[in-house]
Amino acid sequence: MAAFRDGRQKLRVGLLVLDNFTLNAVSGFVEALRLAADTGGRGRQLECGWVIMGRGPTRASCGMTVTADSLPLDPSQFDYVAVAGGNDYRQRSQPAWLTNYLREADAAGKPLIGLCTGTFNIARAGLMGGRMACVHWNVYDEFVEQFPTISAISDRIFLDAGDRITCAGSTGSQDLALHLIARHCGQERAQQSVRHMVMNAKREASFPQAQFSEEAKGVRDDIVRKCVTLMEQTLNAPLPLEGLAAKLEISSRQLSRRFKASLGQTPSRYYRVLRVRYGAWRLMHSTDLVAAIALDAGFVDASHFQREFMKLYKTSPSKYRRLGVTDKDRRLSKAHSQA
């Protein structure tokens, strides 16, 4: 707090941390600020300043307890006010003090940041009207159900709309922090943080979330949508049809019938397609061996993965990766030649 009160920082963020918050989203955001704020990783609040705000000790969804630096402070002191939510996003109400504080920050002209499910809290305060929200694919359906008049997307890691910045959370939070650091403190400060975190580079806002069920977004059957979400959560260890049905409290026969009616294929077939799509995403966004990707996508071996991959993409995983990299290099080369 003493360092923050100094007031010389180029970037100042007030971070509200709520019960059941997601630790990864908060720690990634704060660590990026810390490593850019000073040299040598010492963490003095020189270039960047931040305050963790709350109303007493706050427990993360993983069980760790964090003690806030302060009660919510006058928002006029900050460049941004961020709110970090977590596993309580299904609740349809929130404390009056939180709504009042977010409205006070908005009235003071401070951009609001929704980290992870913090976007739900901003929306509950009535402050997302006319704006688009970026949310994690795992909570997309719940957000749309709670806030049907707010346009939601889950095809990127964060969305900077000026006075509202919404972030899917998880590791995307550190990319958002790097985005703000580059804006206020310069690209070299952002790169300093990248180097300390042993990252290859910061990802742009449009970097895709690893989710592969776009066609299910328009499905009206709630059971089918929940089943698809469950499939995405278990791509590396696929459940049998009976296991999916049990978790959804429905019979296997009913699940198959409703799935075919909504998506035109069996649950098992769709599950397999999702896993292949995940493998394709990994091919383009990692340097992992095909065999490792196959196992991570829930296939017993690389041969099984390759057979299914050929059915969907009409080429082998290796050629898919090679052609994708070639196309990317060609686009970059063209961009450089036009610069």
Instruction: Please write the tens of the pLDDT for every residue from 226-238.
Output: 898 889 888 889 9
Secondary-structure class of domain 2-196 per CATH: alpha beta
The answer to whether 283 and 294 have CB atoms below 8 angstroms apart is no
Give the per-residue pLDDT at 214. 73
Whose structure tokens read 């008049």? 149
Give the per-residue pLDDT at 1. 63
Give the per-residue pLDDT at 24. 93
Residues of the chain with CATH 3.40.50.880: 2-196
- The DSSP output letter for 168 is -
Q: What is the mean pLDDT of residues 157-180?
A: 96
Q: Where are the alpha helices (DSSP H) in 186-237?
A: 187-196, 222-233
Angle at 238 (CA atoms; ends 273, 241), nearest 5 degrees: 90
- Residues whose CB falls within 8 Å of the CB of residue 338, separated by 6 or more in sequence, listed in order: none
Q: Is it true that domain 214-325 has CATH number 1.10.10.60?
A: yes
Rounded to an integer, what distance in angstroms lies between the CA atom of residue 16 and that of residue 240? 41
pLDDT of residue 332 exceeding 70, the answer is no
Write out pLDDT tens, residues 17-43: 999 999 999 999 999 999 999 988 888
Tokens of 52: 């963790």
The answer to whether 169 and 25 have CB atoms below 8 angstroms apart is yes
Residues of the chain with CATH 1.10.10.60: 214-325
Tokens of 105: 């920050």
- Worst-scoring range by mean pLDDT, 97-101, 219-223, 330-334? 330-334
- The DSSP output letter for 150 is S
> pLDDT category, 3, cuts 50, 70, 90?
low
Hey, what amino acid is at 194? V
Q: What are phi and psi of 15, to 5 degrees?
A: -115, 115
